[in-house]
């Protein structure tokens, strides 16, 4: 239930009778989630389902010599044992920007965990036992597991050049590269008083959703297929299945149960084409439920090495910033090239810099293919840029807040220059000042502690298409059809709030339909915190469409001139006064009843030639401030305070804004302090599973934590909102790093800043110091 307090000002919109936008409306689907009734993929029962298990080899790079399936075939319950030779030849490859990922490992294994054989059996146990019995003869090859190995002149190629025909880079392990530059190199030399040059590392981390995920494929009577997968982009999956197996889109139905955590890890298809093949081949419903370990081997954030060189005037103004940014993207492209281009586009941060030069590369290695992950490349590059600013501040004896004040752009000022410049779409100084105020920046730091403040930006979506349909039913209830998948950000709650206000319908009488390509109109994707803006506008437009239709039919039914009528959120204004839209609708529909159907589309065209495909529709901006206490002997870090402030435009649901901000901020502590995937010399993941891959727990949250928003109602979304939900993670590392450096007197340049790294840094600093 909404609580009593009034929401923020409506930015010029007329407040309807049930103004719920801006209120703490409880999460849609919340009751099912607290009672355990919510059905995630693995909770759905399928009659007569067969089960799938994979077999692979324990190394990251190998040639497959022979596969002996006979021991598995002979085992109880086994229906099929399939490997590359059993698929139509050549084995199809798929992917968004590069069609490089084979449906199943073909002749070679390119990363630890890549499925080589798929077993279909009557029960999960039988499938697993048979998968264990498969014998894969392989020859381990010298894989490339790190950047230096991958970029060495004689490096083994992760992808055969034939996978990337016609690509200039196909004889290297560089998948793609991009360069951003502006300013004149000759002009700044004299003005730089201090130059800082260093190298920073950001680890490979994995999403670790509490629902590891899975896939179910059901063959249909018409030769088509239904695929159940908790994907963030059902339409992309539909298209992939249709293309790989040459089935018309109309016969590929994707049902996307709400993901139990996505964070970017459940966007793109991986094993779905294979499971679909198994279902088509066996004629059985095929079900794969992933283990957490398998999820680790399916999704991760790209690691990154950044070499940066930055100039400052004596007053701390940035003069230039140069970066070589190398993303460790893994064995297949997935969306990594875009992570690289987008993350490095904003690599120089929201600052006023006369000259910038960023060279970024997406580098292939024999590791799990990396994909989208909250922040999408921005946290990686931001770690280096923010650390450079702090190093500059230290060298110049400047306060790091002051350093940011001097360089952060003002509203509408360009922070990316050159042909495709970008200007600040928010009043970002307000967020910075608020974060400083909340952490008590001007009060002295308690002894033994250190403080850091950091900012981050991330471009929102640059192109997009969301379509929505809304139905206003005769009894005053309503339905919205919106493809956005609700993975935790609570998208449907927002649609409900919009409908409630725009149509004047009770929250309880609204149903949202999503996650089924047979029922819901097209939505490009749920990513880049786009949904509130794009789908939100589409839903809003659909509601307005309904009000237009109600007005028209009401005019006809009551023989009133349309010009004498107008509508407002939740209302139809008639010559004798305003009536509720529902009442107007009932009058208009009359005895035959029926319903109103509204449509809304929100489309953002790209810009030809733009490195991102178009201007970002908005920027997520965040300022984070952190205070830590460091045990200088063990290196252990205690977070005493953690503050984040986001520039959100408008809070449509303050409860969800807090959840998202805290969630992102705490997730950011993961890569800052403890998370990293570790590989051995055979490319095996050493910490495969929950025991040794550490993520933050209740006890790892700061003793005091506070999130806040700046609301200027200046976003492109409904009621002036912007996308949120990634912001608070963008600069966590920068703030933690600065706070630790402040406490120990020396920066740590490699993430995560584990106790061991802090200890090592202090020890090395002591060795280096002259005394």
Partner 1 sequence: MTDSPVRPTSEVPVALELNGEHVRATIPAHRTLLDMLRDDLGLCGTKRCCAEGECGACSVLLDGELVNSCLVLGAEADGGALLTIEGVSMDGVTDLQEEFLAAGAVQCGVCIPGQVMAAEQLLQTNPNASRNEIRDAMSGNLCRCASYQRIVEAIQNAAAGRRTDA
Partner 2 sequence: MASYCRPRTVSEVLTALAGAEGHGRILVGGTDLLVHLRKDPFAPTVIVDIKSVSDFPPAVEIGDDVVRFGPTARMAEISSDPFIADHLPALCASARVVGSIAIRNRATLIGNICNGSPAADTAPALLVYGSSVTVTGPGGERTMPLVDFFVGPGQTRCGPDEIVIRVDVPIPDRGHRSAFQRLTRRRGVDLATVSVAAGVDADGGIVLGLGCVGPTPLLTDASPPVDLNDPDAIEGAVEELVSIATPISDVRAARDYREAMVRVLAVRAVQAAAAPLEGMSS
Q: Toward partner 2, which CB reaches closer, 493 or 676?
A: 676
Q: Does residue 448 come out as left (phi exceeding 0), alpha (psi in the -120 to 50 range) or beta?
A: left
| Nearest-10 Cα torsion for 92, 96, 100, 106 | -40
Sign of CA dihedral 736, 739, 742, 744: negative
Asked if 61 contacts 157 with a C-beta cutoff of 8 angstroms, the reply is no
Question: Nearest CA to 668 among 627, 585, 716, 727?
Answer: 727
**Which part of the chain contacts partner 1 (CB under 8 A), choosing from 260-268, 337-345, 403-411, 499-507?**
260-268
Q: Toward partner 2, which CB reaches closer, 214 or 347?
A: 214
Q: If DSSP states are collapsed to H, E and C, what string results for 10-40?
A: CCCCCCCCCCCCCCCCCCCCHHHHHHCCCCC
Residue 369 lies near ligand FES (rule: CB under 6 A): no
**Which part of the chain contacts partner 2 (CB under 8 A), choosing from 386-394, 545-553, 566-574, 689-697?**
689-697
Cβ 656 to ligand FES shortest distance, Å: 12
**Which part of the chain contacts partner 1 (CB under 8 A), choosing from 61-69, 231-239, 472-480, 487-495?**
487-495
Residue 210 lies near ligand FES (rule: CB under 6 A): yes
Residue 261 lies near ligand FES (rule: CB under 6 A): yes
Residue 212 lies near ligand FES (rule: CB under 6 A): no
Q: CA-CA distances (angstroms) from residue 710 to 166, 432, 536? A: 48, 10, 20
Q: Toward ligand FES, which CB reaches closer, 90 or 698?
A: 698
Q: Measured in Å, how far apart are the chain's first and last C-alpha atoms?
A: 65
Asked if 209 contacts 373 with a C-beta cutoff of 8 angstroms, the reply is no
Q: What does the longest C-alpha to C-alpha distance in the chain come to?
A: 95
The 8-class DSSP code of residue 285 comes to -
**Which part of the chain contacts partner 2 (CB under 8 A), choosing from 123-131, 230-238, 388-396, 622-630?**
123-131
Angle in degrees, CA 75, 79, 82, rounded to 5: 95
Q: If DSSP states are collapsed to H, E and C, what string results for 68-106?
A: ECHHHHCCCCEEEEEEHHHCCCCCCEECCCCCCEECCCC
Residue 765 interacting entry, from partner 1, partner 2, ligand FES, none, C-beta within 5 to 8 Å by type: none
Count of residues binding ligand FES (CB under 6 A)?
Answer: 3
Asked if 209 contacts 266 with a C-beta cutoff of 8 angstroms, the reply is yes
Residue 132 lies near partner 2 (rule: CB under 8 A): yes
Out of 12, 90, 443, 698, the residue judged to bind partner 2 by CB under 8 A: 698
Q: Toward ligand FES, which CB reaches closer, 1 or 210?
A: 210
Q: Could you tell me how many residues make up the chain?
A: 771
- Asked about 114 being catalytic, the answer comes back as no
Residue 22 lies near partner 1 (rule: CB under 8 A): no
Residue 723 lies near ligand FES (rule: CB under 6 A): no
Cβ 230 to ligand FES shortest distance, Å: 12
Out of 89, 246, 697, 769, the residue judged to bind partner 2 by CB under 8 A: 697
**Which part of the chain contacts partner 1 (CB under 8 A), choosing from 183-191, 312-320, 611-619, 660-668?**
660-668
Residue 403: in which H helix or E strand, if any?
A: helix 400-407
Cβ 210 to ligand FES shortest distance, Å: 4
Residue 460 lies near partner 1 (rule: CB under 8 A): no
Name every residue whose Cβ is closer than 8 Å to that of residue 42 and which is 6 or more positions away in sequence: 211, 214, 289
Name every residue whose Cβ is closer than 8 Å to that of residue 44 and which is 6 or more positions away in sequence: 216, 228, 257
Residue 124 lies near partner 1 (rule: CB under 8 A): yes
Out of 32, 43, 68, 125, the residue judged to bind partner 2 by CB under 8 A: 125
Residue 697 lies near partner 1 (rule: CB under 8 A): yes
Q: CA-CA distances (angstroms) from residue 447 to 393, 625, 628, 634, 754? A: 20, 17, 11, 17, 21
Strands of the sheet with 286-289, listed across from one edge: 78-83, 117-121, 50-55, 286-289, 214-219, 225-228, 252-255
Pairing status of strand 62-68 against strand 50-55: unpaired
**Which part of the chain contacts partner 2 (CB under 8 A), choosing from 134-142, 244-252, 384-392, 758-766?**
758-766
Name every residue whose Cβ is closer than 8 Å to that of residue 467 and which is 6 or more positions away in sequence: 483, 521, 522, 523, 538, 599, 600, 601, 602
Count of residues binding partner 2 (CB under 8 A)?
Answer: 27
Upstream peptide bond of 544 is cis (omega within 30 degrees of 0): no
Interface mask (CB under 8 A) for partner 1, residues 738-767, using x and -?
------------------------------
Residue 756 interacting entry, from ligand FES, partner 1, partner 2, none, C-beta within 5 to 8 Å by type: partner 2
Interface mask (CB under 8 A) for partner 1, residues 374-413, using x and -?
----------------------------------------
Q: Toward partner 1, which CB reaches closer, 21 or 225?
A: 21
In angstroms, the CA 418 to CA 426 distance is 20
Residue 687 lies near partner 2 (rule: CB under 8 A): yes
Residue 259 lies near ligand FES (rule: CB under 6 A): no
Counting beta carbons within 10 angstroms of the beta carbon of residue 482, is it exposed (0 to 12), middle (13 to 18) or buried (19 or more)? buried
Asked if 250 contacts 311 with a C-beta cutoff of 8 angstroms, the reply is no
Q: Toward partner 2, which CB reaches closer, 144 or 666?
A: 666
Q: Toward partner 2, which CB reaches closer, 449 or 760?
A: 760
Q: Toward partner 2, which CB reaches closer, 584 or 758?
A: 758
- Find the catalytic residue in 140, 211, 726, 756: 726
Interface mask (CB under 6 A) for ligand FES, residues 50-69, using x and -?
--------------------
Cβ 29 to partner 1 shortest distance, Å: 7
Out of 222, 314, 556, 692, the residue judged to bind partner 2 by CB under 8 A: 692
User: What is the binding site for partner 2 (CB under 8 A)?
Assistant: 125, 128-129, 132, 633-634, 636, 638, 673-674, 678, 686-687, 691-692, 694, 696-700, 754-756, 759-760, 763
State the catalytic residues.
726
Q: Where does this chain bind partner 1 (CB under 8 A)?
A: 24, 26-27, 29-40, 42-43, 45, 124-125, 207-212, 258-263, 291-292, 487-490, 655-656, 658-660, 662-667, 689-691, 695-699, 701, 705
Site residues for ligand FES per CB under 6 A:
210, 261, 488
């Amino acid at each position: 239930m909404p609580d009593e307090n009034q929401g923020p000002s409506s930015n010029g919109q007329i407040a309807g009778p049930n103004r719920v936008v801006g209120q703490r409306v409880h999460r849609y689907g919340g009751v099912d989630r607290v009672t355990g009734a919510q059905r995630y993929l693995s909770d759905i029962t399928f009659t007569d389902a067969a089960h799938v298990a994979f077999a692979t080899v324990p190394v990251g790079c190998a040639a497959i010599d022979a596969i002996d399936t006979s021991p598995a075939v002979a085992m109880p319950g086994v229906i099929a044992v399939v490997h590359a030779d059993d698929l139509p030849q050549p084995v199809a490859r798929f992917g968004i920007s590069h069609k490089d990922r084979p449906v199943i490992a073909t002749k070679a294994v390119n990363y630890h965990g890549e499925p080589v054989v798929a077993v279909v059996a009557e029960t999960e146990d039988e499938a697993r036992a048979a998968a264990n019995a498969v014998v894969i003869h392989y020859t381990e090859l010298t894989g490339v597991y790190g950047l230096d190995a991958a970029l060495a002149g004689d490096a083994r190629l992760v992808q055969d050049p034939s996978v990337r025909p016609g690509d200039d880079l196909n004889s290297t392990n560089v998948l793609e590269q991009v360069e951003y530059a502006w300013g004149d190199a000759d002009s700044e030399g004299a003005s730089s008083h201090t130059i800082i040059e260093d190298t920073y590392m950001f680890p490979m981390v994995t999403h670790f959703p509490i629902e590891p995920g899975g896939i179910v494929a059901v063959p249909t009577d018409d030769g088509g297929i239904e695929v159940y997968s908790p994907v963030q982009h059902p339409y992309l999956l539909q298209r992939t299945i249709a293309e790989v197996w040459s089935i018309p889109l109309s016969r590929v139905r994707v049902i996307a149960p709400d993901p139990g955590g996505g964070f970017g890890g459940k966007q793109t298809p991986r094993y779905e084409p294979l499971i679909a093949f198994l279902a088509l081949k066996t004629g059985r419903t095929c079900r794969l439920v992933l283990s957490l370990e398998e999820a680790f081997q399916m999704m991760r954030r790209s690691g990154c090495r950044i070499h940066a060189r930055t100039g400052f005037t004596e007053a701390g103004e940035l003069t230039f910033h140069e970066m070589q940014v190398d993303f460790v993207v893994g064995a297949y492209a997935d969306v990594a090239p875009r992570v690289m281009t987008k993350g490095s586009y904003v690599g120089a941060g929201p600052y006023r810099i006369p000259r910038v030069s960023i060279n970024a590369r997406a580098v292939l290695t024999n590791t799990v293919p990396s994909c989208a992950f909250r922040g999408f490349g921005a946290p990686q590059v931001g770690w280096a840029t923010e650390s450079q600013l702090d190093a500059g501040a230290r060298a110049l004896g400047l306060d790091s807040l002051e350093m940011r004040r001097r360089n952060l752009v003002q509203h509408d000022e360009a922070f990316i220059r050159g042909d495709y410049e970008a200007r600040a779409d928010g009043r970002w100084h307000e967020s910075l000042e608020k974060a400083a105020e909340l952490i008590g920046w001007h009060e002295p730091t308690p002894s033994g502690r250190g403080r850091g403040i950091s900012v981050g930006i991330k471009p929102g979506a640059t192109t997009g298409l969301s379509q929505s349909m809304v139905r206003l039913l005769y009894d005053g209830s309503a339905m919205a059809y919106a493809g956005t998948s609700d993975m935790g950000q609570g998208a449907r709650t927002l649609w409900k709030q919009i409908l409630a206000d725009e149509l004047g319908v009770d929250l309880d009488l609204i149903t949202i339909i999503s996650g089924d390509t047979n029922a819901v109109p097209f939505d490009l994707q749920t990513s880049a915190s786009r949904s509130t803006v794009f789908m939100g506008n589409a839903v809003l437009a659909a509601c307005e469409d309904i009000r237009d239709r109600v007005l028209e039919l009401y005019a006809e039914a009551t023989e009133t001139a349309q010009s004498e009528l107008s509508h407002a959120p939740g209302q139809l204004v008639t010559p004798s006064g305003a009536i509720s839209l529902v009442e107007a609708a009932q009058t208009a529909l009359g005895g035959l009843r029926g319903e109103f159907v509204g449509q809304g589309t929100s489309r953002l065209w790209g810009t030809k030639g733009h490195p991102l495909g178009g201007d970002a529709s908005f920027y997520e901006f965040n300022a984070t401030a952190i205070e830590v206490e460091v045990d200088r002997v063990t290196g252990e870090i205690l977070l005493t305070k953690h503050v984040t402030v986001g520039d959100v435009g408008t809070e449509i649901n303050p409860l969800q804004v807090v959840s998202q901000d805290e969630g992102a901020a705490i997730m950011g502590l993961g890569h800052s302090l403890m998370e990293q995937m570790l590989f051995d010399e055979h490319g095996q993941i050493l910490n495969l599973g929950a025991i040794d891959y550490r993520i933050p727990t209740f006890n790892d949250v700061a003793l005091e934590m506070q999130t806040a928003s700046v609301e200027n109602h200046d976003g492109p979304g409904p009621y002036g909102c912007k996308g949120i939900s990634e912001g608070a993670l963008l600069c966590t590392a920068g703030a933690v790093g600065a706070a630790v450096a402040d406490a120990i007197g020396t920066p740590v340049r490699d993430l995560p800043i584990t106790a061991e790294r802090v200890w090592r840094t202090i020890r090395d600093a002591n060795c280096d110091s002259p005394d």
